[in-house]
Homo-oligomer: A and B are copies of this chain.
Amino acid sequence: MATSKIPHATAKRLPIYYRYLHFLSDAGKQRVSSTELADAVKVDSATIRRDFSYFGALGKRGYGYDVESLLAFFKKTLNQDKLTNVALVGVGNLGHALLNYNFHQSNNVRISAAFDVKEDITGTIQSSVPVYHMNDMKEQLSVQQIEIVILTVPSKVAQEVTNEVVEAGVKGILNFTPLRITVPDTVRVQNVDLTNELQTLIYFLDKFGKQDENKLG
């Protein structure tokens, strides 16, 4: 099957396409061209056509892509046709915000359990999500057959907690801690590093600034 050798770079763009198709569909648009898409998602039109072509001929020459059928195709490809249950580990500032964050809106994802050590919230329901004590994590993850975990614990305990969720059979971790956690290669980690993003922005900004100065000088 062709889908087994989708380039990483392509795979990362699929959700972006998917979301914009959703938007077009909601707006009642029937067809869309790669150029139009390119403008909206800021990806070169040739890249878009190339990305799509890995999945076969999804469009029609001289016409473009049919919004509904393309949307349906990506829905299936991105597993958006079935609900994915995930767990949130660490209900601090960021964790709380993610509980409220509407992953479910354009995304068929639900946070079905949260875990923390703080006695004042364990046993309660936060933003419609039950919060369990970390002691019960392994059991709950197994029972609920949760394969994906959002990690928002303090970095001090990040590796320790990671080991635990891996033992519980988790296969994917969305890692919000600044640490690069160690996992067996059957487990996939996606890092979201807020500080990094900001620092990178500052770094590039400064470079640009200097260039501008040169131009002026």
A interface residues, Cβ below 8 angstroms from B: 3-4, 6, 11-12, 14-16, 18-19, 40-42, 77-80, 84, 86, 93-94, 96-98, 100-101, 103, 106-107, 109, 147-148, 150, 171-174, 178, 180, 182, 186, 188, 190, 192-212
Contact = CB atoms under 8 A, between A and B. Distances in A.
Contact of A209 (B42, B171, B201): B171
22 contacts: A4-B207, A4-B211, A14-B203, A15-B193, A15-B196, A16-B193, A19-B196, A42-B182, A77-B203, A78-B199, A78-B203, A80-B199, A103-B195, A109-B198, A109-B199, A147-B205, A148-B201, A148-B202, A171-B209, A172-B201, A188-B208, A190-B198
Contacts of A16: 180, 193, 196
A133 to B, nearest CB: 22
Copies of this chain in its oligomeric complex: 2
A74 to B, nearest CB: 10
A198 B174 contact: yes
A119 to B, nearest CB: 21
A58 to B, nearest CB: 17
A11 B204 CA distance: 8
Contact of A93 (B97, B106, B107): B97
B194 A79 contact: no
A12 B200 contact: yes
Which of A4, A198, A201 neighbours the largest number of chain B CB atoms within 10 Å of its CB? Answer: A201
A106 B194 CA distance: 12
Given A4-B211, A190-B197, A172 B19 contact: no
A5 to B, nearest CB: 10
B195 A15 contact: yes
Contacts of A206: 79
B3 A202 contact: no
Contact of A15 (B19, B147, B182, B200): B200
